[in-house]
Amino acid sequence: MPTPQPIRGMHDLLPADMARHRHVVDTAREVAARYGFAEAATPIVEATEVFARTLGDTSDVVSKEMYTFSDRGGEGVTLRPEYTAGLCRAVITHGLCNQGPQKFFAHGPMFRYERPQKGRQRQFHQIDVELIGVAEPQADIETVAVGHDILVALGIRDKCSLEINTLGDPESRRAYREALVGYFGARLERLSEDSRARLQRNPLRILDSKDPGDRVVVAEAPSFEAYLNDASRRFFDSVQAGLATLGVAHKVNRHLVRGLDYYTHTAFEFVTEHLGAQGAVIAGGRYDGLIETMGGPPTPGIGWAGGIERLALLADRAPAGPRPIAIVPIGETAEGAALKLAHELRAAGFHVEQGYRGNVKKRMERANKLRAAAAVILGENELAKGAATIRDLDTGAQEEAPLAGLAERLARYRT
């Protein structure tokens, strides 16, 4: 019988991997909390319509990548491919649109059926930040800044660069859309099949195409900048000025777009050259029309998502975990006392490891392998005196201490 394997593109997170994963999540959660983002979660499974309406049925995610199926009741459901749509659905469901700004931090697994590669799997994990209900550019500045600060806290900001662009307000987008339809329509035979399908429904998506023939046509396409009205320019100027005030270095990338009509104004990505082709580690933008598209009232919003696997790869390693205290009993009589002592020390807040078998040498070797800070040795002589031997595993120094009050004597090893 062959060795069982996980499904292609879905990986186990063993303790070392989980430590890096947890480091990213815990760091992001702590930084986001400083900005007032409260943690939330939505179901992993949503009605398919939640994503089909928000991601657009011409997008690769909807047309090629979503894990969609019918449940036992015949309802169309989908494993979430991203977090924004679910959080916006939750805002509508719970009537939060008119209750002032809503600031969410979330994390969890996402699912997309795509070709697995470095930093991109079919089950992957994201951290997510959404600020809903604020139309002013201050929301854009703050949302970008929290991403910047998370990268700083992870020690990887110097490995990333921030690219931003403006998608303009709806008036600017309509004017630009008409220009693109005219430009690409005159070159229809040179476009890929996917881009031809997007021409009328979602022409901005053509600008994202990776098809080599499309890239040649896109290179001469009209610039969005030429179609921005004064209001859109002022908004973008405010965002850039705010980032400069905060010392958040960035550059304008006029090719950075979001194809769907509910996206407006700021689009941004933190990108890196350290992960091969998968350069974006955090990507987001303003989506003032999204909640209305989903059936809610007109409500502005902006947010971003960051790939935990990619961030963990950039961070390389997580900080070392807590160093335990090893309990080392000598002889059968000491086993029961060791069990009781371990329980008492854990209740007092210590991380404790207790060997299950082996002689003293074997147990001490295991203690060193576990990076234990100290060993508490219990032998018949110590127990007869109601004491234990404490050995510092860094210095080798040891002392005998009464079992009564042992927790106080070990206080310097508490993590």
pLDDT in tens, 119-151: 678 999 999 999 999 999 999 999 999 999 999
Residue of 259 and 152 predicted with greater confidence:
152
Residue of 268 and 209 predicted with greater confidence:
268
> Structurally, how many domains does the chain consist of?
2
Q: Rounded to 5 degrees, what angle do the CA atoms 217, 224, 304 make? A: 100
Same domain, 280 and 408: no
Same domain, 125 and 265: yes
3-state helix, strand, coil in the chain (%, to 5): 40, 20, 35
Question: What sign for the dihedral angle of Cα 88, 34, 323, 308?
Answer: positive
* Average pLDDT value for residue range 262-277: 89
Same domain, 102 and 243: yes
pLDDT score for 321: 82
Same domain, 299 and 384: no
Q: Cβ(325)–Cβ(375) under 8 Å?
A: yes
Same domain, 281 and 336: no
Q: Give residue 386's domain range.
A: 325-413
Q: How confident is the model at residue 286 (pLDDT cuts 50, 70, 90)?
A: very high
Among 62, 36, 37, CA closest to 49: 62
Q: Cβ(315)–Cβ(326) under 8 Å?
A: no
The whole-chain average pLDDT of the chain stands at: 90
160, with CB counted inside 10 A (0-12, 13-18, 19+), is buried
pLDDT score for 60: 58
Q: Cβ(314)–Cβ(281) under 8 Å?
A: yes
Last residue of a domain, one of 284, 315, 346: 315
Same domain, 406 and 310: no
Same domain, 340 and 280: no
Same domain, 82 and 145: yes
pLDDT score for 128: 98
pLDDT tens per residue, range 383-414:
889 999 999 999 999 999 999 889 999 998 88
Same domain, 244 and 350: no
* Any domain includes 174: no
* Any domain includes 179: no
Instruction: Return the percentage of the chain with pLDDT > 90, whole number.
Output: 58
* Average pLDDT value for residue range 48-70: 74
* Average pLDDT value for residue range 290-308: 94
Q: Cβ(127)–Cβ(106) under 8 Å?
A: yes
| The two structure tokens encoding residue 330 | 């000598």
